[in-house]
Amino acid sequence: MLGYDILDVLIKDDDVADFGISHDDAPVTLLHRRHTPGNRIPTNLKYEDIKDDAKKIILSATKQSDSLLAHLAQKMGSRHLTESEPYLEGTLPSGARATLWKRGTTNPMGNVFTIRKPLTTPITITQLLRDNVIPYELSALIWLILDTSGGTGVIFGAPNSGKTTTTNALTNFINPHHRIFTVEDNAEFCLFQDDVTSTITKKSDPAHTVTYMTLFVRIMRLTPDFVCVGEVRLSEIEGMLHLFESGCPAIGTFHATDEEAAMSRFFKLGVLEAQLLDIGFLLGMGMISLQNNTRKVISFSESFVKENGDVGFDRIVTYDRINDSFEGSDLDTLIKSRRAIECAKLRGVSDIRVDLEGRVNFLKMLVGQKKFTPSEVKLSFEGYYNRDLLRPYKSNLL
């Protein structure tokens, strides 16, 4: 009644990233953060028929599965799952994101559920640099972009490619003086700056539904300095681009396999070609097959206008799987990128190389000093942006 039945052990294990069942008789399978990442591991957790001494079924696995889904739906604050409304997405009290699908016409094999658990302690940018998920020089360029008024980007990739984790780590670059907002369907971002407001959409009857666009409009009236947008899927792309057009620095996540696929999806969702210029860069994430199926940044592209007037994305950095290296991530290449030149002008930077080298050296210093925890990274960036400015304001009128 109070917990999650046989799922309690998985809810409480911070190393479990995702778990669920594919039908009533199937065992629970999970994705583990430290063991065989990217591959589902079967467990010994399974609903089976409960029988008496005479081998008569007292409680079937199906009934237990039904009871579990009803219990999860209740914890998500929703009504009962029915034949007409068999599908439900929401957040559990633990903060995990749950997706439920009750057996029925659209799902004849049995109940399905997936519970995705966010990290309780977020991955920092220094951890990604240490593990060679992203190169230092590219990190410095993204930092410069996000540190500039109007700096925007979209992190794309397939499911479980590390989009949200990487996006969360990139927020370490946000100036600690800034006011930050997050917009999501379910709370997955875990930012550790002081001035952060998290907002969540609400799916209800038409009169009380709160959409991405609703949240964007409300946020813009609160004068944000930076906005993080999670899991842009369908019509919410319009709201995100409206945010990008406003000049507010922002990043969002999007499902796609490469730049062409991302552009194709943008157009299918009604995005105009000219609006692509509001997306400063596309950062591709992927699961690669090396020793432990490690997640990597696989591409970095920036928007530009072609000679014929069309808008596209020019790939600058590409991950080479064979040599485990990042082609085009050297400073000689990056300082010539349109985004670097544009941001340098906006910030009044006379020498792009000196600026990026300074950021690279700062990041290398943090990794060399083994500052990997959120609190250590936070204090370090506060120092970079002059921590004295963060002291509480005392009015001379008081």
Q: Which of 17-21, 59-63, 254-258, 353-357 has the highest mean pLDDT?
A: 353-357
* pLDDT tens digit sequence for 127-175: 999 999 999 999 999 999 999 988 899 999 988 788 988 999 999 999 9
pLDDT score of 317 more than 80: yes
| Element at 276 (helix H, strand E) | none
Please report, for the chain, the start and end positions of each structural domain, with discontinuous segments joined by +: 5-116, 125-386
Reduced DSSP (H G I as helix, E B as strand, rest coil) percent helix, strand, coil of the chain, to 5: 35, 25, 45
pLDDT score of 253 more than 50: yes
pLDDT score of 272 more than 90: no
- Mean pLDDT, residues 182-201: 86
How big is the CA angle at 152 (ends 148 and 386), to the nearest 5 degrees?
Answer: 35
Report how far apart, in Å, the C-alpha atoms of 256 and of each of 233, 259, 264, 282 are: 10, 8, 9, 11
pLDDT score of 294 more than 90: no
pLDDT score of 348 more than 80: yes
> What fold does the segment set 5-116 form as a domain?
Beta-Lactamase (3.30.450)
| Nearest Cα to Cα of residue 284 among 150, 157, 145, 375 | 157
Q: What is the pLDDT of residue 56?
A: 82
- 229: amino acid identity, one letter: V
* pLDDT tens digit sequence for 62-115: 888 888 888 888 888 766 788 888 888 878 888 788 889 998 888 888 899 999
| Nearest Cα to Cα of residue 371 among 173, 131, 81, 126 | 126
The length of the chain, given as a count of residues: 398
338 contact partners, CB below 8 Å, separation of at least 6: 302, 304, 314
pLDDT score of 310 more than 60: yes
For 156-191, letters b (16+ CB in 10 Å) and e give bbeebbbbbbbbbbbbbbbbbeebbbbbbbbbbbbb
Q: Work out the end-to-end distance of the chain between its first and last CA atoms, rounded to an integer number of angstroms.
A: 53
Band (pLDDT 50/70/90 cuts) for residue 390 is low
The rounded distance, in Å, linking the Cα atoms of 97 and 349 is 43
Q: What is the pLDDT of residue 394?
A: 64
Q: What is the mean pLDDT of the chain?
A: 86
CATH code, 125-386: 3.40.50.300
Q: What is the pLDDT of residue 38?
A: 64
The percent of residues above 70 in pLDDT, for the chain, comes to 92
Alpha-helix runs per DSSP H in 195-311: 212-220, 236-245, 259-268
Q: Is the pLDDT higher at 141 or at 218?
A: 141
* Dihedral sign computed on CA atoms, order 44, 50, 51, 56: negative
Instruction: Judge whether 183 and 228 are in contact, CB under 8 Å.
Output: yes
Q: What is the pLDDT of residue 290?
A: 45
Q: Is the pLDDT higher at 298 or at 54?
A: 298
The percent of residues above 90 in pLDDT, for the chain, comes to 36
The rounded distance, in Å, linking the Cα atoms of 337 and 46 is 54
